[in-house]
């Protein structure tokens, strides 16, 4: 019989699954217009850690290209769109006076 999907888990992974689902469940069922900043940061760090563990960076050049691309992506969303400024009210960040003080 041909196995289409093969999943291997260790005992520690199985023990940590309930602990890992708690932030997701709390985030999904949290009430109100705004979500908890702590839960949002925990989920974002979890996704970032998982993505970084899947990447196989074979050279310093590849890592540099990846970081440069992420920097340009961040600059695009902060300065190039009105989406971030509208919802997060970061007009002070995008002003030239604040940038010159840094």
d(CA 51, CA 44): 11
DSSP string for residues in 58-83: -SHHHHHHHHHHHHHHHHIIIII-HH
Residue range 23-44: mean pLDDT, rounded: 83
Contacts from 53-61 at CB under 8 Å and sequence distance 24+?
none
Q: Which of 4-18, 27-41, 58-72, 82-96 has the lowest mean pLDDT?
A: 82-96
pTM of the model: 0.52
pLDDT tens string 34-87: 778 888 888 888 888 888 888 888 899 988 998 899 898 888 777 766 665 565
Token pair, residue 38, equals: 């702590």
Domain boundaries, the chain: 12-54
Q: What is the pLDDT of residue 99?
A: 46
């Amino acid at each position: 019989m041909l196995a289409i999907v093969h999943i291997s888990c260790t005992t520690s992974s199985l023990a940590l699954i309930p602990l890992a689902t708690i932030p997701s469940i709390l985030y999904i069922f949290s009430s109100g217009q705004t979500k908890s900043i702590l839960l949002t940061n925990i989920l974002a760090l979890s996704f970032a850690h998982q993505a970084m563990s899947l990447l196989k960076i074979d050279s310093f050049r590849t890592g540099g290209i990846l970081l440069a691309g992420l920097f340009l992506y961040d600059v695009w969303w902060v300065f190039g769109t009105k989406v971030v400024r509208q919802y997060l009210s970061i007009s002070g960040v995008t002003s030239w006076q604040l940038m010159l003080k840094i």
